Structure 1
Amino acid sequence: MGVHDRLTTVISTKGQVILPKAIRDQLQWGAGTRLTVENTPEGVLLKSTPVFAASSIDALFGSMRHDGPALSIDDMSAAIAQEAERRARD
């Protein structure tokens, strides 16, 4: 984007800034998108914040308990297919 192509905005009396629609559409930032704000030597940097914090499989392993006997791979595949079919109907 060249100097003449830059979009501008204004800071409101409440400190709010409206991001131009073209930028929001390009980044797919809808209403309610959480942004991280960083002060850099070049200016202010806005980045979308992940919905979920980063985690590892080790941190999550075993967090969803299952009462009863362990399920086979075939049983799990059947349950996944059944749920996918249910969601497709909804």
Structure 2
Amino acid sequence: MLSYRRLTALPEGAMDTTVSTKGQVIIPKSIRDELGIDAGAKLRVFTEGRRIVMEAARPFPETSLDQVGGMGKRWYSGPAIPESEWQPALDAAMRRRWGHEYDDSGS
């Protein structure tokens, strides 16, 4: 049998916040700092059961390759560039942007 104390205990690192009359919620500074959330950041909010979940919104909706295939022809009409020429530059740019979070091993 679970105790009342265990059922009502907050998860480690959890903090209380208050919903304003306009429905606004303040995300504690320590959490904003930890996740790199700055003023103006876009967040996606949804529910999972009775939980409210917030996560960074993607700048663009998910798109399949079929939806974007051939779009580059609008800006480039030359011959196809082999992957061996563009992939190293893309990997370097991704490592600069994402650092250790970027895994270019292909797995």
TM-score between the two structures when normalised by the length of structure 1 = 0.61
Q: Helix, strand or coil: the match of 1:64?
A: helix
Stretches of structure 2 lacking an aligned partner (at least 5 in a row): 1-8, 94-107
Matched, 1:23 2:24: no
Once the 2 structures are TM-superposed, how far is the Cα of residue 57 of structure 1 from its aligned partner? 2.3
Report Cα offsets for 1:38-82 as digits up to 9, x if no partner.
123242111221111111223212112224x42654xx66xx7xx
5+ long unaligned stretches in structure 1: 85-90
**Mapped partners of 1:63, 1:41: distance in 2:** 39
- Aligned CA-pair RMSD: 2.7
CA distance in 1, matches of 2:51, 2:61: 26
Q: Which amino acid aligns with 1:70?
A: P
* Higher relative contact order, chain-length normalized (CA < 8 Å, sep 6+): 1
Q: What residue in structure 2 maps to residue 63 of structure 1? A: 71
Match 2:19 to one of 6, 11, 22: 11
Aligned to 1:88: none
- SS, match of residue 71 in structure 2: coil
Compute the displacement of 1:5 (Å). Answer: 5.0
Identity fraction in percent: 31
User: Displacement of 1:19 after TM fit?
Assistant: 0.3
